Amino acid sequence: LIVLGRRPGLPFARFGDLSSIIIATAGLMFFWSQYSYLSGLSWWYGSVDHLRTGSAGRPAPDYDLATLPWKVAAARVFDVKPGRMTLVTSHDSFAYQASANIGTGGASAADIQFDVDVEAGGVTIGLLQGGQWVAISSSRKAGSFADWNSAQLGYRRSLTVVIANDNPAGESRFIVKSLRLYLRK
Amino acid sequence: MDRLSRVCRVLLCGEFVLAVAVIVYAGVHDVKDVFFGAPAAVAVQIEGSCEAGDPTVPCHVSVAELHAARYRIATDAPARTLTITLGSRAPMERAHHLLVRVSQPTNLELYVQAHDGEAFVEPTHLTNSPGRTMTPLPAAARITALSFVSEAEAFSEPIVLDELGFFEANRGLLTDVRRIFQGIPPLTYHGTLVPRVVARLCIFSAIAAFFVPRRVLKRLLPVLVPAICFSLCVLDLAVLFPPYRSGDLRAFYAGGPLQNAAGSNLNGGLWQAERLLAGQGLTVGAGVVSWERMPGYGLFCAVAALFFGHATLVDLATATVLLQVIFYCAAAGFFVWVAGQLWQSHVVWIVGLLIAMLPKQLGYTQVDSIIAPVTLLILAALCIRLKSVESGRPVGLAVDLFVHLTFALWFLMRPDVLPGWLVVSLVLYWRSPRLMIPIVLAVAIGVSWASYKMQYTKEFVPTTANIGATLMCGLWEVPSRFASTCSDAAYFNWIATHTPFEPTSQAASNFATREVLRFWLTFPGHFVIMLYDKMLRFLGGDVWPGHATDLQQSLFQIVPRAPLVVFLLTTMALAVAAGHQRLRTLLLAWPLFLNAPLFWVMQASDGRFYSAAGVALVVAAVPLLFERPFYVAIAAQPRRTLALVVSAGVLAIAARPLDVWLLHNDAFHYWTPFFDASSSPWGTGR
């Protein structure tokens, strides 16, 4: 485009102008995308670090294991009791097992904290918005799996907490001892 | 449309400036991390003592200062305990944090001893997992000593602390101090994110440069390119020597190269400089002159020491790396300033950016690290000469003198320039009295060095006495059934077994050279495979030696190295075949044809000697892509163009399978048509 733009009289003579417009616009988008990616990532690391180190004075969660409106997707055993969720997954290696869809209430960010005892296989716990993972934590090791995660929320008004199988070999068994969700304005 | 276009062009100029500013800032931000490794520690005098694992063995502690009261501490024998006794208590009042990085053993227990004997701090468990450990020190003024107790069962290794220091605050010790994106951990930020963003910014600036006014860009080139080059060099060093993980540059030298015997690859130049400045001559030890090196790099290190200090060898190593970076940037700046006379400024910008982005070896204190900038000086000098020829003026004596002074600079560093220098000189001055310039310069350097060495070696060797060793090493760099290996020890052993000569002597080198030549004739198949395999490795990416960080990988993910090399070589071949800028292309690409192939028969050492060829490839090929007459010329020669493109395609597709086939074809590999294999001193293979 640039080369053609320097040949007056050619039908492409305006392409030099056009290329400057396209590249200038692309440049703006490029700078913004790099900045927003890095600032988003910095926010995420900062949030998770803050959650891990400063949870003592944290207020009550907006949702917890008992108050989340769970829907069973594929789990063979799904038993929620106060302070404990027992789950035996389907044989599908990475299938969603249970989910809970909630309204964000205008929140701009969500923090999730969980504590799971993996008896066999592996587990993925995360947040979905618009069908896309916005926060995801996985473990394929038997034993305790506790983590914090954070996500900036998009414009959509709903958010889904998902528990999925993470065992290429098939079924997993685990107990969710706690799961708390905090919504931040 | 015109108005909008004008606005966008102004906007593009702004974006170009912003891109350059961000690139430069990113590198400058890392300067302290790279060259100092940590903020200054509290100046505490320390003394070390140790208790050996075997009580009958004496144990001593070495303390090396990395920088400003940050130390590397090691016992010289397998130890049970390392105790560090602190000097005066006054400075300790300011110390609130203890920084430790354990190298070995795997687990240690740290006990803090108070002057009143009270155990007021719980013992701390330390491991040798990568990274620094910070321990808070309450009431540090009470501390008189620190004891590191090995938790190993057998006490089979020395206790080594790669870093130890007392600090007022832990700011800047576990992560860098930055104003933006503070949440991102330093390794992710510096190791991956920044290099990738900077690589994208470089690509964007290369495109935006087309819209920057030519005159303005041409004036700014000699300033912007060195600034960007400096930034990219520092970014690469920050990735390779991360203070927050595996250790900074100073810790690397203190714990690695400076622990090796004097004269080894990464400390030879440093010892030469240190001894030279101490009035002990250009030697690596008492009465020992380097047998395998020219004098230039030792002098370079001495200059670095004079400029940036040499209180310790660690300081000298850091000073040398800094001077290498500055030299690279200055050479790149000089080159683009000169190249601006030959090519349009946006083309020079792209070439300069590529030179700045190439993988480098600047973190290593060996001569190979500065061959790339020396090559840039040679190519710049050749550009001045080409411009002179292009303008129709007779080439001035000063220009030719400058050309050969740059070649001489390489010769002062490494002797492998001689064949290329000779051929280039013959091409430029066939039957001209100016042929005397390179001859006089080469003889002056060679004779001076030989005369200097003679007082130590009693031999007159104008270059180095390791040609036989490198030829021998080169034999074993391709897979084969021959049992020999490539190392100094193997060569020394082989010479001692087969000759009465001193292994570092010219006589030994001559003997080895004769035996290698006989070996080539004995096993011509192995010789052909060696050439072919090393050539393919060269084309496959070794032409750009050095550790490729994410800065370079970002580019190589878009265009992998091997296709990129073949593409650039094909471009040059097309220009030569079509008669477009034939002399310029061949002259600027001389290291590709007259230097790199030397290492297909000699030791290539994973390509670390190829940096000149890598720079030359970029300089000779890239400008062609932006010249309209180049496309006109190759379009006018459709048959040649097609033949070359098809040949390059065939090479790209068939070269590797042929290499594999050759390597597995024993009948050809171990074919002995001229001499009996049993006469070879290296046997007939496993």
Q: What is the pLDDT of residues B400-428, one digit of tens each?
A: 999 999 999 999 999 999 999 999 999 99
B183 vs A38: CB contact, 8 Å cut-off? no
Residue B119: its pLDDT value, please?
65
CA-based Rg of chain A, rounded to a whole angstrom?
23
Cα(B600)–Cα(B537) distance, integer angstroms: 10
Chain A contact for B8, CB < 8 A?
yes
β-partners of residue A84 are A81
Total residues belonging to chain B: 686
- For residue A105, is pLDDT > 50? yes
- For residue B660, is pLDDT > 90? yes
Cα(A170)–Cα(A143) distance, integer angstroms: 18
Query: pLDDT tens, A37-61?
Result: 899 889 888 888 877 776 555 678 8
> pLDDT tier at B120 (50, 70, 90 boundaries)?
low
Residue B202: its pLDDT value, please?
97
Residue B397 CB-density burial (10 A; 0-12 exposed, 13-18 middle, 19+ buried): exposed
Asked if residues A103 and A118 have their Cβ atoms less than 8 Å apart, the reply is no
> pLDDT tier at A1 (50, 70, 90 boundaries)?
very low
Write phi, then psi, for A114 (nearest 5 degrees). -145, 165
- For residue A5, is pLDDT > 50? no
- For residue A2, is pLDDT > 80? no
B208 vs A27: CB contact, 8 Å cut-off? yes
> pLDDT tier at B483 (50, 70, 90 boundaries)?
confident
B211 vs A20: CB contact, 8 Å cut-off? yes
Q: Give me B159's structure tokens.
A: 């206790």
Cα(A174)–Cα(A177) distance, integer angstroms: 9
- For residue B19, is pLDDT > 60? yes
Close Cβ partners of B81 (under 8 Å, ≥ 6 residues apart) = B50, B51, B147, B148, B149, B150, B159
Percent of chain B with pLDDT over 70: 99
Give how far A151 is from chain B: nearest CA, Å: 14
Cα(B591)–Cα(B125) distance, integer angstroms: 55
Tell me what the mean pLDDT of segment B625-646 comes to. 96
Calculate the alpha carbon distances from B149 to B108, B111, B125, B538, B588 in Å: 5, 8, 10, 49, 60
Nearest to B12 among A27, A38, A43 (CB): A27
Chain A contact for B179, CB < 8 A?
no
Asked if residues B72 and B161 have their Cβ atoms less than 8 Å apart, the reply is yes
- For residue B161, is pLDDT > 60? yes
Cβ-based contacts under 8 A for chains A and B: 67
A24 vs B8: CB contact, 8 Å cut-off? yes
Which of A20, A34, A50 should be substituted to probe chain B, the one whose Cβ sees the most B Cβ atoms within 10 Å? A20
> pLDDT tier at A147 (50, 70, 90 boundaries)?
confident
Give how far A176 is from chain B: nearest CA, Å: 29
* B residues 207-236 lying closer than 8 A (beta carbon) to A: 207-208, 210-211
Tell me what the mean pLDDT of segment B159-178 comes to. 93
Chain A contact for B178, CB < 8 A?
no
Which of B2, B7, B181 should be substituted to probe chain A, the one whose Cβ sees the most A Cβ atoms within 10 Å? B181
Distance of CA B522 to the CA centre of its chain: 36
* Nearest Cα residue to A112 out of A47, A29, A180: A180
Residue B476: its pLDDT value, please?
93
Tell me what the mean pLDDT of segment B647-673 comes to. 94
> Of B266-270, B550-554, B641-645, where does mean pLDDT reach its minimum?
B550-554
Alpha carbons within 13 A on the beta-carbon side of B554: 19
What is the torsional sign of CA B21, B26, B29, B35?
negative
> pLDDT tier at A9 (50, 70, 90 boundaries)?
low
A46 vs B12: CB contact, 8 Å cut-off? no
Query: pLDDT tens, B444-473?
Result: 999 999 999 999 999 999 999 999 999 999
Residues of B in contact with A36 (CB under 8 A): none
A21 vs B8: CB contact, 8 Å cut-off? yes
Cα(B577)–Cα(A21) distance, integer angstroms: 39
Calculate the alpha carbon distances from B165 to B20, B37, B62, B70, B140 in Å: 37, 12, 15, 5, 13
Nearest to A17 among B1, B185, B207 (CB): B1
Residue B89: its pLDDT value, please?
78
β-partners of residue B124 are B110
- For residue A152, is pLDDT > 90? no
Cα(B614)–Cα(B595) distance, integer angstroms: 11
Percent of chain A with pLDDT over 90: 51
Asked if residues B575 and B585 have their Cβ atoms less than 8 Å apart, the reply is yes
Residues of A in contact with B182 (CB under 8 A): 42, 46
Residue A8: its pLDDT value, please?
53
Residue A4: its pLDDT value, please?
47
3-state secondary structure of B685: coil
A20 vs B1: CB contact, 8 Å cut-off? no
Residue A104 DSSP code: -
Total residues belonging to chain A: 185
Helix (H) or strand (E) holding B91: none
Cα(B364)–Cα(B376) distance, integer angstroms: 19
Cα(B187)–Cα(B30) distance, integer angstroms: 13
pTM, entire model: 0.89
Residue A130: its pLDDT value, please?
86
Which of B184, B194, B197, B203 should be substituted to probe chain A, the one whose Cβ sees the most A Cβ atoms within 10 Å? B184
